Amino acid sequence: MPMPRPVLLIFTDLDGTLLDHETYSHEAAAPALEALRGAGVPVILASSKTAAEIAPLRADLGLAAHPAIVENGAGILEPGAEAPRTGSRYRALRTALNQVPAPLRQRFRGFGDGGAHWIADATGLAPEAAALAAQRLYSEPGIWSGSEAEKTEFLAALRAQGVSGREGGRFLTLSFGASKAGQMAEIAARYSTPYMVALGDAPNDREMLEQADQGFIIANPHRAPMPPLDGEETGRIQRIAAAGPKGWNQAVLQVIADFGI
């Protein structure tokens, strides 16, 4: 069902962008968030987090009336929805994974293989947070322990079943191919495609930033700077020197001023 067309639409990554990298606080972004809520501008969370992780955070931010992009674009958490416990797409993904030849399959240990305790060890998450990260609906992150040649064979076997793999900082994530940018376009269409602003700090935000009418790269001192993106030369994509929610607040207040909100 089409939503009322807002003046603009904000798509934002979470960790290291709207949330502080160390404390996970969004306090420094409070002024801009309050201004957006007052103006009726939807803020769409877009993260690698699961629906189980995002649902309570979205409610805490006062954004439950808007959809959210979960598992790096592999799915959407609908407005007002709680996270389902299981999903048919994840079951189909696990089935495809287990049809890969055994010598290759055993080189990949996914979240569904390791369980919450293993996820906590692999990610550094607290046990409660790891349990939420284990509640997957659309994608399967994991650690590859084989050679590059074996990984090429592994991914080819999965592609034959419609499954694609994306490399992250540590994890190889499998899904049926959806992306943040693709979900961004679908959600924007619900709002009759207003002016779109995107904010992110990492390479997995690149497609989203480049697709937006205006993109902001938020500084992240904990990783190497993102490479140049299409649109930076014209100013359509800008880099913000401040990190995390402080940089997010600065960028969004700039947008608010530009739009006269």
Task: Considering the candidates 13, 20, 201, 205, report the single residue annotated as catalytic.
Answer: 13
Q: Which residues of 230-261 are buried (b: 16+ CB within 10 A; e: fewer)?
A: ebbeeeebebbeebbbbbbbbbbbbbbeeeee
The separation between CA 48 and the C-alpha centre of its own chain, rounded to angstroms, equals 4
CA distance 232 to 249: 20
Task: Return the SS3 of 153.
Answer: helix
CA distance 60 to 57: 5
Nearest residue to 178 via CA among 155, 212, 204: 204
CA distances from 22 to 15, 17, 28, 201, 222 (A): 9, 11, 13, 14, 10
113 carries an active-site annotation:
no
Positions marked catalytic? 13
